[in-house]
A and B are shown apart, each in its own frame.
Chain A
């Protein structure tokens, strides 16, 4: 059975409570929690609601967003990130998603040197809480979120850092056509902490603009097969965001996505 969760980003304009009640009514057993929604609802209340719903938490999204060009901002940003490690621990999240942050006009290597310094600091806190961090590479158009744009480059960083508390997030719409994809899945699955599932339609030219699995051009089934064959142990997190989701409506987007999961499981 596919170990999946539903990401609260999929219902981006719903409240925390709406999400949990709707997801629970559909029999969804795990959720990726958006920190913004959790804080708006109230952390303690949110924790209780999750517990009452019996929901597992695949990840808390997202910490980081470091201003890599301006070291004077790092102490405050590190403090915020450390607090989020604490929040992730309190709510029982399996991991905390991390965004590296904007690199300004720096080269990839300059940005990476700075990020590694920040990561070193964060990993000490992650170690204290035993909370794994999971870094998401982004599309090259999203330099406002980070400087890493492929699974391969993310995995190279993870190999270099070589910590069980630092893994990479596989985001399907951004990574499905990259070079060495299947080789990386087969060889470095243990470095992948979360697989975000979605699809994109042909002729999509901006990000994020995702659709439910099966509605687009991505061979999602083949990719999931590769992860299964590589004995991936983490969650498949359904994260579908963009104008097509707003047009379809959240209920219908979720219905189609869960239908895809059922079909895959032969149900």
Chain B
């Protein structure tokens, strides 16, 4: 369960609530951890026995201004060290804002940055998972499709750079099932959620409440031998309306049905 799903809850409330539901693993949120206190938070995580599948997030490089990179790389280095300390399986990476650069100009600069970042990941033994974003989230990064991100990962060809599959943004990508079948080894995290019909923003819904063929996509990942986690990451106005408990309840019910453990949907 991704802590973003219960966006306004504090770190300790997330852990206590998720644990009470028997959730075995979480994606830990940096903002929440820092607000709670890093040392206390790390101890709480250790005591909970929960696996940290991902630490969110680092990067956000000002691609248009290399003068800022040294400081941004220092921040990333500290975040990577923290991810290693909590034994996170991965650390989420956002490329950052290209401003008015073209895709290719932004990618060239981001590749330079990756050249400095990846040795840090290797040293800490925590791989990055890079998340492509909808064009509207251009301040977060220049890459918008799974395909383009996988091309970058192929080119970089490092075990320390994987791609994050974010369902609401990628479910209708061209070549989706072919990419899953052929390049699942490059995918380090699958964030699952659903999208209600006629959604025109980045609003997500509980699994099964929308139009995304989640089952089909997960089956494709399973068939491709994907070995990572399926991280439930649901955020947006519908989650706030429904409430965190109900959003999580519905999503876990979907998971139970997927595993054949729950009642048939009525």
Contact = CB atoms under 8 A, between A and B. Distances in A.
A144 interface: yes
A140 B212 contact: no
B137 A205 contact: yes
A143 interface: yes
Interface in A132-148: 139-144, 147-148
A224 interface: no
B172 A103 contact: yes
A105 B216 contact: yes
Interface residues of A, number: 39
Interface stretch (A19-27, A175-183, A258-266): A175-183
A150 interface: yes
B200 A207 contact: yes
Given A177-B138, A181-B103, A108 B201 contact: no
Nearest to A147: B172
B102 interface: yes
Nearest to A146: B172
Nearest to B106: A177
A141 B176 contact: no
A204 interface: yes
Contacts of B100: 217-219, 222
Contacts of B177: 107, 109
Given A179-B104, A218-B100, 14 more contacts: A103-B172, A139-B136, A141-B201, A142-B200, A143-B211, A149-B172, A149-B174, A177-B138, A177-B144, A180-B103, A182-B102, A200-B136, A205-B201, A206-B136
Nearest 4 interchain pairs by C-beta:
A206-B201, A105-B213, A219-B100, A108-B174
5 contacts: A108-B174, A141-B199, A177-B142, A180-B104, A206-B201
Interface of A: 103-105, 107-109, 139-144, 147-150, 153, 173-182, 200, 202-208, 217-219, 222
Interface of B: 98-100, 102-104, 107, 134-139, 142-145, 148, 169-170, 172-177, 197-202, 211-213, 216
